């Protein structure tokens, strides 16, 4: 008898219409779903983790022999600047956000060498700092 009483406990309200408020309109399904959507409790945390995981290379320390070879190659480029000689320069670009950086290889024709600013300017307007050069081919 007790089970029968529990089964019939809501018989008086089960078929009634859903109550609606006159003052508060019903929430749209979109807004209702937004209540249960996940949120980022730590804003920027994912970006910080990605930045930490990003790998950088260390700047190389060139030996005296390597520096003298690079100076010879730079002098040859300086003598032939403007003749249309194709060169491939590998240089180090320091990272703006953390220690280290990346090696970049750029091929092109040298337009001029700016000795005052210690840069090589290519015909495609790429500016390469001479202090960062690792290899010239």
pLDDT surpassing 70 at residue 2:
no
Helices (H), the chain: 2-7, 29-35, 45-53, 64-80
Give me the DSSP letters along 46-84: HHHHHHHH---BPPP---HHHHHHHHHHHHHHHHHTTTT
Q: Whole-angstrom Cα distance, residue 92 to residue 70?
A: 14
Give the lowest-confidence range in 16-25, 40-49, 57-66, 108-117.
40-49
Domain boundaries, the chain: 2-53, 64-136
pTM exceeds 0.75 = no
């Amino acid at each position: 008898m007790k089970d029968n009483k529990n089964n019939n406990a809501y018989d008086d309200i089960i078929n009634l219409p859903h109550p609606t408020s006159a003052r508060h309109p019903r929430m749209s399904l979109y807004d209702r779903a937004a209540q249960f959507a996940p949120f980022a409790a730590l804003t920027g945390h994912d970006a910080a983790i990605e930045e930490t995981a990003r790998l950088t290379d260390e700047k190389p320390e060139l030996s005296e022999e390597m520096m003298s070879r690079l100076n010879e190659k730079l002098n040859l480029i300086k003598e032939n600047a403007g003749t249309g000689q194709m060169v491939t320069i590998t240089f180090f670009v320091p990272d703006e956000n953390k220690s280290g950086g990346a090696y970049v290889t750029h091929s092109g024709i040298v337009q001029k060498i700016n000795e005052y600013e210690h840069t090589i300017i290519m015909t495609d307007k790429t500016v390469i700092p001479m202090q960062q050069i690792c290899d010239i081919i």
